[in-house]
Amino acid sequence: PRISVTHDKHDKHKTWFLHISNVQEEDKGRYMCQINTVTAKTQFGYLHVVVPPNIDDSLSSSDVIVREGSNVTLKCRATGSPLPAVKWKRDDNSKIAINKSLSVPDWDGESVEISKISRLDMGAYLCIASNGVPPTVSKRIKVSVDFPPMLWIPHQLVGVPLNFNVTLECFTEAHPTSLNYWTREDGHMIHDSRKYRTESTVGMPIYKTHMRLHIYYIQQTDYGTYKCVAKNPRGETDGTIRLYISNPPTTSPGPPTTEAQDFWVNSAGRNNDSLPGLHHHGGNGPGGGTGQNGQHHPNSYSVHVVDKNSNLNEIDRSEQNSKVIYWATNSNGSSRAAHNLLSSVAASTVLLLASLVKYTAH
């Protein structure tokens, strides 16, 4: 039997033993030993049973998908003896944003509520239960935050001379991941060819994407408006970039050189050797003399204007005057767009970019 009583007949002290095998939590409590003499004598003992923590999945949250701006409550029910303490942490050790004014490295309690959740709160959350009895246990809950696409265009007006190459750029944020593509002003989708090459690079966090459109050997028919488009189940949006003709850069005669020159210009048009911006390639370098499918391009004028101070997660910053941000139309038909680009500033920026390139195109 699981519970039994024994004693040693040869023990002059006549000691009796209570044996409990395979101890269960319900075995805890008060036990009494009684000697039936003329005056009964009793002795009491108390059995403490400790149980390691266990997380009850049926009473705890599983992976969730929520809309940005909604409130989310994550629950984690743990059992054990003594009763376990529950602590919440983010899997990447970043802070938990309880609300706009409170962010904490961890949170105590069986539940944690996040008010007006944002894309920055997306990721895995760990509920950790411990009661001093090993082992400590945890449950990983993945929180996905859905939102319609948003576009950010670092340079909306781009001037390039005939017979040069150019690269147009768009940055997107969307979850689920958006379908991204480029079109001309007539709506026709652009596909990879000897004229065009498209590429998309997923960033960190994974809801960010960097779109590029490479256009080779610019001809008169290539000038005009280009659109970068992003769409997902939550909505869609697009942004425009206008490509216009500019004069080729000129310079006074100088000593011959076989090396391509790189010029770096920030979004305000200032020459800065430490900022990624304007790339000018002469000869057969990457994006330079030899293009898609081995096509020869004598000149390359790739515009990559990037503002180091930009941050898509602080999209409303008013000082980003050389950028245009597009929000997707949501399911209610509402949309918002921040057009903070001054055309005259952008145009002069592009002209200044051209003036900074110091070589003669061949």
Give the integer Cα–Cα distance in Å for 196 and 213. Answer: 7
Read off the pLDDT of residues 215-266 as tens digits, 9 standing for 90 and up: 999 999 999 999 999 999 999 999 999 999 999 887 655 444 333 222 222 2
**What pLDDT shows up at residue 333?**
39
Read off the pLDDT of residues 177-198 as tens digits, 9 standing for 90 and up: 999 999 999 999 999 999 999 9
pLDDT > 60? residue 272: no
Read off the pLDDT of residues 52-88 as tens digits, 9 standing for 90 and up: 999 999 999 999 999 999 999 999 999 999 999 999 9
pLDDT > 60? residue 318: no
Average pLDDT over the chain, rounded to whole?
A: 77
- Position 146 confidence tier, pLDDT thresholds 50, 70, 90: very high
**What pLDDT shows up at residue 251?**
64
245 or 295, which is more confident: 245
Q: Could you report how far apart the first and last alpha carbons of the chain are, in Å?
A: 99
Domains of the chain, each with CATH number or no CATH: 52-146 (2.60.40.10), 154-356 (2.60.40.10)
pLDDT > 80? residue 92: yes
- Position 12 confidence tier, pLDDT thresholds 50, 70, 90: confident
